[in-house]
Amino acid sequence: MENKTIAFIGGGNMARSLIGGLIADGFPADRIRVAEPDPEQRGNLSATFGVRVTGDNRDAVADADGVVLAVKPQVIRDVATELAPQLARTGAVVISIAAGIRESDLSRWLGDGLPVVRVMPNTPSLVQTGATALYANTATSTEQRSLAESLMRAVGLTCWLDDENQMNAVTAVSGSGPAYFFLLMESMEQAGADLGLPRETARLLTLQTALGAAKMALESAEDVATLRRQVTSPGGTTEQAIQAFEDGGLRELVEQALKAAADRAESLGDELGNQ
């Protein structure tokens, strides 16, 4: 991986997190190219990371082994068609982090036969604790899959999908998932304050509890249902709270929420693909 050159098209927050993760992981800064239209952003990227910056997309991808499309979904078609002739000559793997853009549409804009990896990261990638699913088309080699995986693993956990249709479920679970936990934490913080805790105390206890629960779940050999039962003593305070959640239909509500997110991901894919 360290002998490869990676070009980023777009230097926004997600690109910055990936660049920072790569460099922290030992990837040479001088092998990273970033195309960014904003001169101020270019200066900041160069000063912060020591990477080469340019305002020209084609200049950035000239000698790249991997090209990360980190632009807004609404402009990705124009970017792809601009770069298509050059990428057809180099055969660089195209890694798209644009939400909702299907591999088939991206391949159509780039020209059939190019290696394409579609990825769905989430916002905790900004603090190197992301969860990313990847899907590669059949033109992508084992080495190119490894390049894409190494890139995303620099900011968190990665997993591969064999069926791109599962990406809608990924969007619902992990792509949108941080917001669900933020909502729960927001609600717990408010409830703690309503019960008489100072607001800052309620906030800190809520956030540390969320962090601790996630860490326990990741490191334990038990599944989350078992962990929940282990901390729910019969007749105790936790049991009363869990029963209130169950009586309120929390499981059904979560299922409805994730289905709504997955359905919207599918419709967005239709809309964006028909640009």
Domains of the chain, with CATH numbers?
6-168 (3.40.50.720), 175-265 (1.10.3730.10)
- Residue 98: the pLDDT is 87
d(C-alpha 265, C-alpha 267), whole Å: 6
Q: Kindly write down the DSSP assignment for every residue of 81-150, as one continuous string.
A: HHHHHHHHHH-PEEEE--TT--HHHHHHHH-TT--EEEEE--GGGGGT-EEEEEEE-TT--HHHHHHHHH
- Residue 275: the pLDDT is 65
Q: Is 73 marked within a binding site?
A: yes
d(C-alpha 83, C-alpha 75), whole Å: 13
Position 67, amino acid: V
Asked whether 9 and 75 are in contact (CB, 8 A), the reply is: no
Average pLDDT of every residue of the chain: 94
Under-50 pLDDT residues of the chain: none
**pTM summary value:** 0.90
Tens-digit pLDDT profile for residues 96-144: 998 889 999 999 999 888 999 999 999 999 889 999 999 999 999 999 9
Q: Is 9 marked within a binding site?
A: yes
Q: Is 11 marked within a binding site?
A: yes
Task: Write down the residue that tokens 């019960």 correspond to.
Answer: 195
Asked whether 44 and 29 are in contact (CB, 8 A), the reply is: no
Q: Is 12 marked within a binding site?
A: yes
Q: Is 39 marked within a binding site?
A: no
Residues with Cβ within 8 Å of 241's Cβ and at least 6 positions away in sequence, in order, are none
Q: Is 66 marked within a binding site?
A: no
CA 59 to chain centre: 26
Q: Is 72 marked within a binding site?
A: yes
- Residue 184: the pLDDT is 98
Position 65, amino acid: D
Tens-digit pLDDT profile for residues 187-219: 999 999 999 999 999 999 999 999 999 999 999
Query: By three-state DSSP, how is residue 52 classified?
Result: strand
